[in-house]
Amino acid sequence: MRIGVLGAGQLGRMLALAGYPLAKTFVFYDMSGSPSVGLGEVIVDREGKYLDDFLSRVDRVTYEFEHLPVEVAEKLAQEKPVHPCPRALQVCQNREAEKTLFGELGIPTPRWKIADSAGSLRAVAENLGCPVVAKSNTEGYDGKGQAVLRSPEDAEAAWEAIGHPRLMVEKFVEFSREVSIVAVRGEDGQLAFYPISENVHHEGILRYSIAPAPKLEKHTQQDAERYIKELMNELGYVGVLTLELFETANGLVANEMAPRVHNSGHWTIEGAMTSQFENHIRAVSGHPLGSVEPRGLSCMINIIGEHGEVERLLELPYAHVHLYNKGERPGRKLGHVNVLADSYEELVWRVRNCVQFLPGSPEFISSLNRKSKG
């Protein structure tokens, strides 16, 4: 089976690496002009001239990046199966549509309103009560296109800084930690849910994911599974979906969804019986899903900006290094390290041992060791 992938970055690379053992071949369609996938066949098409050529070379289509024209996915879907469906792409590209869908399905969200001017942003901030988070209603990821308003007087500066004609404004959520659930749905409706991961962000970028999330009450996993199941069934979804959530004193609150394999699921490559990447390929190919059981405890460490001392990391028997073949640049995701352990105490020690070889990494502070810091 020939699988076409919209996008040609590291997620596409890892999808292909998981698909080759299942005898899949891959064609990547890149609209950025700077593909980094480094394998398979790549069609670079910044002006949309070679879409028919791409279609002729593939049997099924998926995507590794949601910020691409929905009309491209819709056009492809008229000719070949496209998984996940273009509607999922459409919803996740528009925060208002996304939050509206969450509300219709009974998935808790922060209180929110839309602002379309500096004046209305100020009025919304006053109505919701500061602090609030303002986000561009479309585009924006890894913390880009966002601003926190501590008071309504911040509205003018926030509006200018974001520079978008329509903003999603959310009441700031008092949360204990950020978590996410990665799930997969097959063509036949079969569902599988990975354990929730605890995610640690720094300057808007994910730095650590711990799975299964420590100190997690059973009902929390069940709630997350119920929410993401509602989304997948409503959308007729096929493939991997990720739901980012805040854990609060009153339960989970949804932040956003990502219709693709996700950074917070990279731990599954070594840390689960079947990785998110293999399960996505299985799903979009119409195969049965693989087991999502964890292989003990894991922590994914993102390598950001500079590679650090990779040779030292490769010496560590519990560290699994994945490099994306990208040049160094501030804020750029260059790779990740998966660390496995038999206990959370051992996991903390091993992660800290790895981090010393990754310059620029923030201190590893999570629910596992936050209290001990005092």
CATH number, position 66:
3.40.50.20
Domain identity same for 187 and 331: yes
The residue segments making up the domain with residue 265 are 177-373
Residue 371's pLDDT is 63
CATH number, position 128:
3.30.1490.20
Which of 144, 9, 3, 152 is CA-nearest to residue 80? 3
What are the per-10-residue average pLDDT scores of the chain (374 residues)? Answer: 97 98 98 93 94 97 92 95 96 95 97 95 94 89 80 94 93 96 97 98 95 96 98 98 97 96 98 98 98 98 97 98 96 97 97 96 92 45
Among the candidates 155, 171, 187, a domain finishes at: 171
Domain identity same for 117 and 228: no
256 is in an annotated binding site: yes
Answer left, alpha or beta for residue 23, where phi above 0 means left and psi between -120 and 50 means alpha: left
Domain identity same for 301 and 163: no
201 is in an annotated binding site: yes
CB 14 within 8 A of CB 324: no
Q: What is the DSSP string of 121-170?
A: HHHHHHHH-SSEEEEESBS--TTTTEEEESSGGGHHHHHHHH--SSEEEE
318 is in an annotated binding site: no
83 is in an annotated binding site: no
pTM, two decimals, is 0.94
CATH number, position 187:
3.30.470.20
Residue 373's pLDDT is 37
145 is in an annotated binding site: yes
355 is in an annotated binding site: no
54 is in an annotated binding site: no
Alpha-carbon distance 163 to 158, whole Å?
Answer: 8
Which of 95, 96, 160 is CA-nearest to residue 122? 160
144 is in an annotated binding site: yes
Domain identity same for 290 and 206: yes
In a domain, 17, yes or no: yes
171 is in an annotated binding site: yes
Residue 372's pLDDT is 44
Residue 140's pLDDT is 65
141 is in an annotated binding site: yes
146 is in an annotated binding site: yes
Among the candidates 171, 188, 210, a domain finishes at: 171
329 is in an annotated binding site: no
154 is in an annotated binding site: no
